[in-house]
Structure 1
Amino acid sequence: MKNTESNATTSAYTKNPRSENEHSVDETVVQQSVDPPPAYDNTSNDPAKQSQAAPPVTPQVTQIVTVMQPKLGSLPVQCTCSKCHQSIVSRTELSNGLAVWAACLVLVIVGCWLGCCLIPFCVDDLKDVTHHCPNCNTVLVSLAHSMSTATVNIVRIPAAKENAEDEILECLRRDGVAVVTGMYTRSHVEQVKQDLAPHFDCDKIDQSGFFPSTTQRAMGFFAISRACIDMAMNPLLLAVANRLLTSTYTFYVGSEKKTVQSKPVISSTVGFRINPGGQQQELHRDDTDFHARPCDWPMMIGCVIALTRTHKNNGATLVIPGSHLWEDSNRAPLVEEAVPAELEPGDAAIFVGNLYHAGGSNLTVDERREIAGIFMSKGFYRQAENEYLAVPPERCKELQLSSAELRVLGYGISQPACGFFKYKDPMESVFGIVDDETVIL
């Protein structure tokens, strides 16, 4: 089944053009009474589709960040392989990297020739470490040590790249996160920034304490402006969400075998303004609303779009690459393990729902960090934001939302019959829309 929703909207600002024929939906067949596999590859009953949905990622331009890594070093770790999806204990390899040769150079300068000769063979703490899967030999992570620090790479993929969709999916499976550069135009993000400003200004302090008092929010994008709607309907974002979160389900009604499909929907839309002096948010996973298990299959994804330049000092979103594969439910995330996803306006960080992340601290005195968050979940889960109160049918009609926009918002049926109204598809009973995707009950 082809994704026909991706290019459903047009606007005054320039988007990255993508043909709807480019996006195919990878099927996930869910068997009844069988626990879903802890994997990030959508599979089907067709043996030809049992392999990875995307080809191995090729070398990318990466964001290099130096960070303390107390949990990941030269010792093997238990995790799930991002390629073969088996629970494994990693195999490690040590190699002499920049830190070793820098130490040797220092010893040569001070005249300690013996120490220079011994370091490459004896001082493992300075060596680069590579973790491999013992089953398929996939490189899980490479750590380039510099004294007691490690280098973590966040892959950066240009949105206009021909195979950007495949490479984003591969990064999400392996790292849990990818930065997509140029995903939105500057004029688009500037318009969204203007549209969200009055909503930021009137936001009240979060009484729960989950969001720091210096954070202002704006929610319910579909009721705010056309620019906000189009931000949520970005073709590349929808293509990635459809391939990762679309589910195909096979069941019997009597002797008749049926197969249906459920596409992802908006779970929530939230804008954030982090003011100078803003405190760091606690590291967390977004899929806790769905009572997810450690290393479970993906239930949702998040997309954080920079409306202003975001960097470490003004509170760029912190992520722990690979934390979506942690199997130990008792393992707490550490701030020292997190790296900032630095973005220019129009760039986006896409991540899976079980990746540990948090809004960073704004250490500046005169910079506001503003971002927009689009979160999508599987179509048969309850949405985190109640979209039917945020954008009721009357408001949808005023906005003249398209059928694709209504379905992404959650007004369509998740097959076979989840979300009916008067035992009809709301697309027909509420909006009078009957098309190829309208479900007849």
Structure 2
Amino acid sequence: MSLVTLPADADFAEIREVIDRDGGIIISNFASEELMDQMNDAIDPYFDAVVASGVMDEYVRDGVNFFPKNNVHVYGTFGKAPEVASKLLETPVHKQIMDHYLNDEYKFVVGEDIHSHNSGWGLLLTNAMRVSPGSIPQQLHRDQVVHCVPQTPFSGYATQMGCLIAGSDSTEANGATRVVPGSHKWEWDRRPKPEESVPAAMKKGSALFWLGQTVHGSGQNHMEPGSPNSVRKLYGMFGVRDYLRQEENLFLASPWETVKDCSTYALTKLGYVKTASGVGMVDLGHPLRWFKPLAHYRQQAGYDDSDIPENVVNK
């Protein structure tokens, strides 16, 4: 079985049918090659900075060293290339898919009246991936585990929707993301086998969408260094249901400048924390790592100044 590819202007009912059945889809002609070249030009310098910083040498999530060697991730790409990222975000088919799969109608009682409202969605994260020759397969996984929601056979609800836009051609040889079609309908404890996965091969400017319950992982890059198309680049525009966050925007209501002298306990409860599942990270690290002065809080959080590379600290 392979993933279905449909054009960006396909009837949305057809797109929805494929996602419901397979758990994911490839959308061709999602963005122009020129737009992806602009994104590549904006983000390329950050890849080398991340490698030099060492922040990806070991990123443990859910007890697993999550990113293979030569698979480099840059986070916060929206802020690094806002004009291009805005154009990608506003692509009509991206909006259609996110609006449909990350939208709840909720009915509730206030006094004697029944009310209803619909949720929306927001960006879960924006990132970039560079997979170079020598990268081994990433362990197959579900993204939705970061929300600690029990995996059940898909019935229409997902906490999040993945979206990766190709900044270069993705092929099986250069490590195209592998997806297990139909795995969104599995029970939580079914172990995926590598042979059940298929490569999400797609052209530059295409996009891969998948449900939060769908099993997937980066593939192995078998190509020779320096050979044509040996490096694979992808850009993430992941969506999440908009209520899966704190009710009050505490980062504006209680900004760092006003709360920095509070205890580490209080700061983590305000949201300056990376949870065990990885939610809340900044460049893969704990948020308290990225502020100065930090001596007191960093010691309480288990860090010392020597473990922060100067070139990646947010001043």
The correspondence of residues 249-260 of structure 1 with structure 2, limited to 5 A, is: 249-260=106-117
Q: Which amino acid aligns with 2:30?
A: M
The 8 Å contact of residues 2 and 198 in structure 2, kept in 1 or not, is answered as: no
The correspondence of residues 194-209 of structure 1 with structure 2, limited to 5 A, is: 194-203=41-50, 204-207=55-58, 208=60, 209=65
Q: CA deviation at 1:168?
A: 1.5
Q: CA deviation at 1:206?
A: 4.0
Q: Secondary structure at the match of 2:66?
A: coil
Structure 1 pair 220–387 and aligned structure 2 pair: CA distance change class (3 A):
farther
Of 137, 141, 150, the match for 1:280: 137
Which residue is 1:212 aligned to? 68
Cα shift readout 1:308-329 (whole Å, capped 9, x = no counterpart): 11100100000000000112x2
Q: Which amino acid aligns with 2:235?
A: A
The 8 Å contact of residues 178 and 351 in structure 1, kept in 2 or not, is answered as: yes
Q: Distance in 1 between matches of 2:136 and 2:48?
A: 18
Q: Secondary structure at the match of 2:4?
A: strand
Q: Distance in 1 between matches of 2:95 and 2:185?
A: 24
Q: Secondary structure at the match of 2:237?
A: strand
Structure 1 pair 217–360 and aligned structure 2 pair: CA distance change class (3 A):
same
Of 236, 239, 263, the match for 2:93: 236
Q: Distance in 2 between matches of 1:350 and 1:210?
A: 21
Calculate the aligned-residue CA RMSD, in Å: 2.0
Q: CA deviation at 1:361?
A: 0.7
Of 174, 179, 200, the match for 1:319: 179
Cα shift readout 1:119-152 (whole Å, capped 9, x = no counterpart): xxxxxxxxxxxxxxxxxxxxxxxxxxxxxxxxx1
Q: Distance in 2 between matches of 1:180 and 1:341?
A: 11
Q: Secondary structure at the match of 2:56?
A: coil
1:271 aligns with 2:122: no
Of 2, 13, 22, the match for 1:175: 22
Q: Distance in 2 between matches of 1:258 and 1:288?
A: 31
The TM-score, its normalising length taken from structure 2, stands at 0.70
Cα shift readout 1:320-341 (whole Å, capped 9, x = no counterpart): 00000112x2211111111101
Which residue is 2:260 aligned to? none
Q: Distance in 2 between matches of 1:375 and 1:347?
A: 15
Q: Which amino acid aligns with 1:217?
A: H
Which residue is 2:3 aligned to? 154
The 8 Å contact of residues 316 and 340 in structure 1, kept in 2 or not, is answered as: yes
Which residue is 1:356 aligned to? 215
Q: Distance in 2 between matches of 1:361 and 1:213?
A: 11
Q: Distance in 1 between matches of 2:28 and 2:218?
A: 19
Cα shift readout 1:74-118 (whole Å, capped 9, x = no counterpart): xxxxxxxxxxxxxxxxxxxxxxxxxxxxxxxxxxxxxxxxxxxxx
Of 237, 240, 243, the match for 1:380: 243
The 8 Å contact of residues 221 and 229 in structure 1, kept in 2 or not, is answered as: no
Structure 2 spans left out of the alignment, 5+ residues: 256-315
The count of aligned residue pairs is 234
Which has more radius of gyration?
A: 1
Q: Which amino acid aligns with 1:316?
A: A
Q: CA deviation at 1:387?
A: 12
Q: Distance in 2 between matches of 1:270 and 1:252?
A: 40
Q: Distance in 1 between matches of 2:4 and 2:212?
A: 18
Which residue is 2:165 aligned to? 305
The 8 Å contact of residues 314 and 363 in structure 1, kept in 2 or not, is answered as: yes
The 8 Å contact of residues 285 and 356 in structure 1, kept in 2 or not, is answered as: yes
Which residue is 1:337 aligned to? 196
Cα shift readout 1:277-328 (whole Å, capped 9, x = no counterpart): 111100000000122222242221111111011100100000000000112x
RCO comparison, higher one (Cα < 8 Å, 6+) = 2
Which residue is 1:72 aligned to? none
The TM-score, its normalising length taken from structure 1, stands at 0.51
The 8 Å contact of residues 218 and 271 in structure 1, kept in 2 or not, is answered as: yes
Which residue is 2:301 aligned to? none
Structure 1 pair 206–380 and aligned structure 2 pair: CA distance change class (3 A):
farther
Q: Distance in 2 between matches of 1:388 and 1:353?
A: 26
Q: Distance in 2 between matches of 1:211 and 1:388?
A: 29
Q: Which amino acid aligns with 1:361?
A: Q
> Which structure carries more helix by proportion?
2
Q: Which amino acid aligns with 1:195?
A: A
Of 205, 221, 241, the match for 1:346: 205
Q: CA deviation at 1:221?
A: 2.4
